[in-house]
Amino acid sequence: MSTGLSVSFVASQADIPAALWERCLPAPLEGRWWYEALEKSGLEDQFTFRYALLHAGDRLVGIAPLFLMDVPLDLVVPEALLPLARVLGRFFPSLLHQRTLFVGSPCADEGSVGVLPDVDRRAALFCLQQALVREARRLRRPMLVWKDFPRSYAGDLDWLAARTGLFSMISYPGTVAELPGSTKDAFFAAMKGSRRRQLKKKLRISAEMVAVDVAALQHPEGAVLEEIFGLFQQTYEHATTKFERLDRVFFEHMAVLPQAYFLTLREAATGDMLAFMLCFDMGGRIINKYIGLDYARPKEWSLYFRLWEAALDWSLARGACAIQSGQTGYAPKMEMGHRLVPLTDYCRHRNWIIRRIYATVARGVSWKTLDAALGHYVGKEDVLPARE
């Protein structure tokens, strides 16, 4: 397939013109500012960032963020399929830490490839895939994964998969809470009755037990940032699924971003910080990126739900139409009015035998095998409709 397009690779977001970033990956997508912060955050022991540039002759027409990672088997294989995967690892030891080239970002909620409007997207994706196969071979990365792509890409990526040997696998869904009006009452009214009653009950009991002060901070530093990072560490240790490992330096770089706000809850009586949420205001859409909770506090305080209420109030006050809350932790998010956003991985292993095995395993992956909590949330009303 001749496309008239070509691909080159660069090692930093700074090697790409700012105007191309703005046209290819505009808000509410994470753009240049996000990748610049990630590159400065000392994540080299986990990820290596790269970027594919699409060319039409001497004109730059597209960006595909990439990263390299040696992925532990236990991280990506559903628990029910781990015994089979470990048996395969005895015969193919490299599978235990799969050297992978990813299309996407390790810390973004959805994969994206930005292409200028006058470029044929299928031709661009085909050219990119061919170049990625060659680049993966050069980098000795037998696994290639298009990570967490939403349904708006499904037609094009299914078309690409049929022509290039990619196979698809259901990924952890994202979550979004749509804000149907300008008030909290409108948000509650749009919820299922049972969930609305449970959420209001938790908020009422929590308010009776502890008074909190809410703040939306920009550019925290010093002792405040130390409190924030301490709460994040507690939450990270309680998480069952861990993809990226972040340190205080990461939060220092997040704190200087103009899009970043740290919503904090402090106990009114003592001034102790109880919870925080790092949010990005993307102009109409709020991205709820990371949270931290004090797990030493009574469970009945329902700090996660109080934090969500604060985020809801703040988002409504800023005129937002949706709050995007990412993957995992599904049960409480559904209780708080979120809906699921289907995401898909498209994968290819260089070894055709392993590729067939992986493709067979992928057909057995479902939301329920990825996270047992998702088995309770498969009704149509809990899934965000597809939008092109």
**Do 203 and 332 belong together in one domain?**
yes
**Do 289 and 196 belong together in one domain?**
yes
Report how many domains make up the chain. 2
Residue 218 resides in a domain: yes
CA distance 80 to 90: 18
Q: Between vectors from CA 96 to CA 93 and to CA 98, what angle results, nearest 5°?
A: 100
**Do 195 and 256 belong together in one domain?**
yes
Residue 255 resides in a domain: yes
Q: Between vectors from CA 145 to CA 143 and to CA 151, what angle results, nearest 5°?
A: 160
CA distance 370 to 322: 25
Q: Is 343 helix (H, G, I), strand (E, B) or coil?
A: strand
**Do 354 and 244 belong together in one domain?**
no
**Do 199 and 282 belong together in one domain?**
yes
The closest of 75, 35, 81, 50 to 366, measured between CA atoms, is 81
**Do 297 and 368 belong together in one domain?**
no
Rounded to a whole number of angstroms, the distance between the first and last alpha carbons of the chain is 26
Q: What is the pLDDT along the chain (388 residues), one digit of tens a residue?
A: 556 899 999 999 999 999 999 999 998 888 999 999 999 988 888 899 999 999 999 999 999 999 999 987 666 555 655 666 666 666 666 666 789 999 999 888 899 999 999 999 999 999 999 999 999 999 999 999 999 999 999 999 999 999 999 999 999 999 999 999 889 999 999 999 999 999 999 999 999 999 999 999 999 999 999 999 999 999 998 877 667 788 899 999 999 999 999 999 999 999 999 999 999 999 889 999 999 999 999 999 999 999 999 999 999 999 999 999 999 889 899 999 999 999 999 999 999 988 998 899 889 888 888 888 887 766 677 888 875 4
**Do 78 and 109 belong together in one domain?**
yes
**Do 112 and 130 belong together in one domain?**
yes
**Do 110 and 137 belong together in one domain?**
yes
**Do 83 and 204 belong together in one domain?**
no
- Residue 35 in tokens: 């990748």
Q: How far is residue 81 from each of residues 167, 214, 312, 366, measured CA to CA in Å?
A: 18, 44, 38, 11
The closest of 267, 333, 271 to 304, measured between CA atoms, is 333
| Cβ neighbours of 91 (radius 10 Å) | 9
Residues of the domain holding 186: 175-340
The answer to whether 177 and 196 are in contact (CB under 8 A) is no
pTM value is: 0.91
**Do 281 and 182 belong together in one domain?**
yes
Residue 388 resides in a domain: no
**Do 141 and 273 belong together in one domain?**
no
For position 114, which CATH number holds?
3.40.630.30
Q: Is 4 helix (H, G, I), strand (E, B) or coil?
A: coil
